[in-house]
Structure 1
Amino acid sequence: MEFSVKSGSPEKQRSACIVAGVYEPRRLSPVAEQLDKISEGYISALLRRGDLEGKPGQVLLLHHVPNVLSERVLLVGCGKERDLDERQYRQIIEKTIATLNDTGSMEAVCFLPELHVKARGTYWKVRQAVETTLDSLYTFNQLKSNPSEVRRPLRRLVFNVSTRRELALGEKAIAHGVAISTGVQYAKDLANLPANICNPVYLAEQAETLAEHPHVKFSKVDEAQMQQLGMNSYLAVGRGSANESVMSVVEYCPPGLESQPPIVLVGKGLTFDSGGISIKPSAGMDEMKYDMGGAASVFGTMQALIQLELPLHVIGVLAGCENMPSGHAYRPGDVLTTMSGQTVEVLNTDAEGRLVLCDALTYVERYEPDVVIDIATLTGACIIALGHQTSGLMTPHNPLAHEILSAAEQSGDKTWRLPLGDEYDEQLQSNFADFANVGGRPAGSITAGCFLSHFTKKYTWAHLDIAGTAWQSGRAKGATGRPVPLLTQFLLNKAGIELED
């Protein structure tokens, strides 16, 4: 898919299609008004006849509009102008792309970035249009023997901006949007693979491909090394599986930044989670291939970072493991000594992600990081709290919370901060170890965050629970690639990249 930006009037556009907005009720946007004037009232006559009201989701594709050089004009309903917000703007773009792709318009000039969206400027509108377009066109056909193909797919999209002064902003928005979307696609592809293909070794092999870039180094920690390091908690989780546990480390460091304390991203990589001996119900268990969504998002974010070539020192850790029941599996009641030396009583083997992450979080102390963010499909309780729209954020560090929430607001990749008080720690008390790995049903997401906080005292840390946002179920089943947009925006901000909004 090719994107570009230009500034020009609609009467001069010679393209397969021009895209313009219509507000409710039957009110033309400025670009649609120009097209109506050129066509001597042709468009307004159609609207008066009732062909388009302008409601969100409505479209009207016109062929050979009088005096218009382009073959087609696509009118898109935008709702009431004063109500046009970020979510509705993305939905308008999504409907536009679906229509263009289904009707054989292989290229189009899109004037929708000229719409007025509350508190958003050209950079945001163009970037969101790019990201929404590529997300809408994504398909996972790698494993189909005869994948279906669109006969005349959309291949080129030109975004028109109001003035030539905005061209540079538009070009920057396209570059950022394409890099983020590429990272999202990498994360989706990895997460959508089944567990009989994507196991911890495969995860490591994919991470190693990132080292083809000259600023990237790859290393891995296998089970023998984990044994030497005392990563007994991590090892216990993978003990029931025939697939070896492997932790992958991808380090991106442009020349001259070697002494810069790194930003470390740690992704939970349970390539399949059966629950272990505390086995999950069979219904929906196929979706537990998505329990490596955190690792997939770190992989995708590292890809976006490399493509953007940001001046940052960043380390991505993919904590690959598989949780299976067998005669070798760890059991409820076992007491594990973690890499940190702290002991954990296992009350539920399906609370395994935190047992993998706690050793990974201890391991990254060696990098003396500036900040550590772990990303994990950690708790079903987070879905109960925040649904499938918003990721959960926990951190004891207010400035870091502000940075992440700001990046979420900028990127549209929503998150919400949950409390992380000492009073929740009481639920993790154990008679036989320093603490237990679960704290009961109340505040399940928060007690999981409290558990992880015991292993992050030596650096600034935040935890993102993406259990509700990493994938979709039902007819639209598939990975979302979240929170790659949030994490990449966080890195853009850390790099001091100035954005318009």
Structure 2
Amino acid sequence: MLINAKHADIGKIKTACLVLSVAEGGKLDALGKALDAACQGALSKLLKRGDLAGKPGQTLLLPGLEGCKAERLLLVGTGKEKTLNDRTLRKLASSVLAVLKTLGAKDALITLGELTVSGRDSYGKARLISETLLQSLYVFDRFKSSKADAPTLKQITLFCADKAELAAVERGVAHAQAIAHGAAFTRDLGNLPGNLCHPTFMAEQALQLGKDFPSLKIEVLTEKELKKLGMGAFMAVAQGSEQPPRLVVMHYQGGKKDDAPYALVGKGITFDTGGISLKPGAAMDEMKYDMCGAASVLGTFRALAELELPINVVGLLACAENMPSGHATRPGDIVTSMSGQTVEILNTDAEGRLVLCDTLTYAERFKPKAVIDIATLTGACIVALGSNVSGLMGNNDGLVKQILKAGEFADDRAWQLPLFEEYQEQLDSPFADMANIGGPKAGTITAGCFLARYTKAYHWAHLDIAGTAWVSGGKDKGATGRPVPMLTQYLLDRAAEAKA
């Protein structure tokens, strides 16, 4: 669906459906009053009947009014508050789209961008509205015999009352579309079953992305090359599966040739049985989502290439399948990582940190400005933070603050957890340099502590997206596309710094 922006006289715009906000008590804002005047008071007369209380998200569909060029008028309640928050704005946009999808209207004009929203200017409101609309249109029916009907709605226009703000609104729409495209790509990958989406498939998707966007250069390292690099931890995860591992290296060169890149590292366990430390059977089907870290890097690169940001970025996808077999790693096995540090594998289901530690060591060769790894790493993160925010740790306060700020603006938030030195003691092993788990306490933090031992050469942050990358259980389960909005905003912020 196409989203654009337009400035014009509200009463003279031709559209199949005009969406107008109404505050609680049937109160019209300046835009509504202007339309009411054009309709000779017909709108205010209708509201006096009390059919719309104006509660947030409440809607009322009306036929076109004389004096207005719109064929239909959709009223949406905004509540009592004069200043809204991000959550309410998203609720309004979702409520509007739910009605629009049921109509025969091919286009609609939405005026929600004229509302006052805390912390958001015209650009920020346009972007959040557009992202919400596009995300709500996402459908994954690739394997359904009966496909969803194509929506009648083909175009939505965001109304801009102030002509001086039109360029900002258009920029917000363009950024939202790039982010939505990236998030949809991530969701598609996360929703694919493990028999199709395996490490080789992930590499193929990256290569195809490189063909679609010439600004991306893709390199794929095979099993033989991983062994040659000494990635013993990575290979310990992959060796139980018949699917060969892949390390995908993605280059985006939008900045100056000698500018150090930012690096995004994604965990890509395309299916996680737990290995010999086998997971319970219930809900194991959801372990196809264990590659959402890598998928979010792919989605972010999709957005990055579309936005053509003036920075350099490296993406590393650590792709493997964790299976039990006669070749699988046993609990108690000791392996040597690429860094030379040895690891006693006490639990083969703590495999994500093993593919990541070698990949984080590999990232050193790019001399990055900063590295962010993204992983569905620990169930403990869901226990601690639920599914609303991602867990965040890092070895540099400045980097952590940048990510928190990006998540706040993108409405894709994270919450910082500590990496105090005391937690490192839980990883002590009598036989190796460290164990790969730290016991039942602070599981998310000790996983971060493990990764921190491989990231001392650069500024690093770790995003645990176990709770935010997908919706679990029931008919609505599926990948969410997070944290593509947060990561893209982080890169937008760095690009803005580069221009300054």
The TM-score with structure 2 as length reference comes to 0.97
- In the alignment, structure 1 residue 262 sits paired with structure 2 residue 250: no
Q: Which residue of 1 aligns with 2:331?
A: 332
Where structure 2 has 5 or more consecutive residues not aligned to the other structure, the ranges are none
Once the two structures are superposed, residues 92-114 of structure 1 have per-residue CA deviations (whole angstroms, 9 ceiling, x without a partner) of 00111121111122101111100
Q: Which residue of 2 aligns with 1:485?
A: 485
Does the CA contact (< 8 Å) of 2:181 and 2:302 recur in 1? yes
Does the CA contact (< 8 Å) of 2:311 and 2:498 recur in 1? no
Q: Which residue of 1 aligns with 2:62?
A: 62
SS of residue in 2 equivalent to 1:280: coil
- In the alignment, structure 1 residue 369 sits paired with structure 2 residue 368: yes
Q: CA deviation at 1:33?
A: 2.2
Q: CA deviation at 1:5?
A: 1.1
Once the two structures are superposed, residues 434-476 of structure 1 have per-residue CA deviations (whole angstroms, 9 ceiling, x without a partner) of 1111111211100000000000011111000000000012232
SS of residue in 1 equivalent to 2:248: strand
Does the CA contact (< 8 Å) of 1:218 and 1:251 recur in 2? yes
Does the CA contact (< 8 Å) of 2:310 and 2:498 recur in 1? no
- In the alignment, structure 1 residue 148 sits paired with structure 2 residue 148: yes
Does the CA contact (< 8 Å) of 2:83 and 2:116 recur in 1? no
SS of residue in 1 equivalent to 2:462: strand
The TM-score with structure 1 as length reference comes to 0.97
Does the CA contact (< 8 Å) of 1:46 and 1:52 recur in 2? no
Q: CA deviation at 1:46?
A: 2.6
Matches of 1:153 and 1:143, distance apart in 2: 22
- In the alignment, structure 1 residue 404 sits paired with structure 2 residue 403: yes
Does the CA contact (< 8 Å) of 1:54 and 1:77 recur in 2? yes
Q: CA deviation at 1:194?
A: 0.5
Matches of 1:119 and 1:300, distance apart in 2: 27
RMSD value, Cα: 1.4
Matches of 2:443 and 2:14, distance apart in 1: 58
Once the two structures are superposed, residues 208-247 of structure 1 have per-residue CA deviations (whole angstroms, 9 ceiling, x without a partner) of 1122233221111111111111101101101111111111
SS of residue in 2 equivalent to 1:10: coil
Does the CA contact (< 8 Å) of 1:20 and 1:29 recur in 2? no
* Dislocated runs of 4+, deviation >3 Å: none
Q: Which residue of 1 aligns with 2:356?
A: 357
Letter in 2 for 1:311: P
Deviates more, 1:131-140 or 1:490-499: 490-499
Q: CA deviation at 1:335?
A: 0.9
Deviates more, 1:488-497 or 1:424-433: 488-497
- In the alignment, structure 1 residue 40 sits paired with structure 2 residue 40: yes
Once the two structures are superposed, residues 128-151 of structure 1 have per-residue CA deviations (whole angstroms, 9 ceiling, x without a partner) of 11111110000012222220214x
Q: Which residue of 2 aligns with 1:319?
A: 318
Where in structure 2 are the equivalents of 1:121-136 lying within 5 Å?
Answer: 121-136=121-136
Matches of 2:36 and 2:214, distance apart in 1: 53
Q: CA deviation at 1:64?
A: 2.3
Q: Which residue of 2 aligns with 1:158?
A: 157
Q: CA deviation at 1:477?
A: 1.0
Matches of 1:455 and 1:119, distance apart in 2: 37
Q: CA deviation at 1:7?
A: 1.5
Q: Which residue of 2 aligns with 1:77?
A: 77
SS of residue in 1 equivalent to 2:316: strand
Q: Which residue of 1 aligns with 2:19?
A: 19
SS of residue in 1 equivalent to 2:447: helix
Does the CA contact (< 8 Å) of 2:18 and 2:70 recur in 1? yes
Q: Which residue of 2 aligns with 1:385?
A: 384
Matches of 1:277 and 1:82, distance apart in 2: 57
Matches of 2:387 and 2:148, distance apart in 1: 29
Matches of 2:84 and 2:420, distance apart in 1: 39
Once the two structures are superposed, residues 30-68 of structure 1 have per-residue CA deviations (whole angstroms, 9 ceiling, x without a partner) of 222222233333322332222110001210010122322
SS of residue in 2 equivalent to 1:11: coil
Where in structure 2 are the equivalents of 1:263-342 lying within 5 Å?
Answer: 263-342=262-341
Does the CA contact (< 8 Å) of 1:81 and 1:116 recur in 2? no
Q: Which residue of 2 aligns with 1:182?
A: 181
SS of residue in 2 equivalent to 1:9: coil
SS of residue in 2 equivalent to 1:475: coil
Deviates more, 1:262-271 or 1:47-56: 47-56
Q: What fraction of aligned residue pairs are identical, expressed as a percent?
A: 52
SS of residue in 1 equivalent to 2:82: helix
Does the CA contact (< 8 Å) of 1:438 and 1:448 recur in 2? yes
Q: CA deviation at 1:120?
A: 1.4
Does the CA contact (< 8 Å) of 2:252 and 2:314 recur in 1? yes
SS of residue in 2 equivalent to 1:326: coil
SS of residue in 2 equivalent to 1:75: strand
Q: CA deviation at 1:167?
A: 0.9
Matches of 2:446 and 2:14, distance apart in 1: 59
Q: Which residue of 1 aligns with 2:109?
A: 109
Letter in 1 for 2:338: M
Matches of 1:290 and 1:36, distance apart in 2: 50
Once the two structures are superposed, residues 49-90 of structure 1 have per-residue CA deviations (whole angstroms, 9 ceiling, x without a partner) of 221100012100101223221100000011113352111001
Where in structure 2 are the equivalents of 1:385-464 lying within 5 Å?
Answer: 385-464=384-463
Where in structure 2 are the equivalents of 1:237-256 lying within 5 Å?
Answer: 237-254=237-254
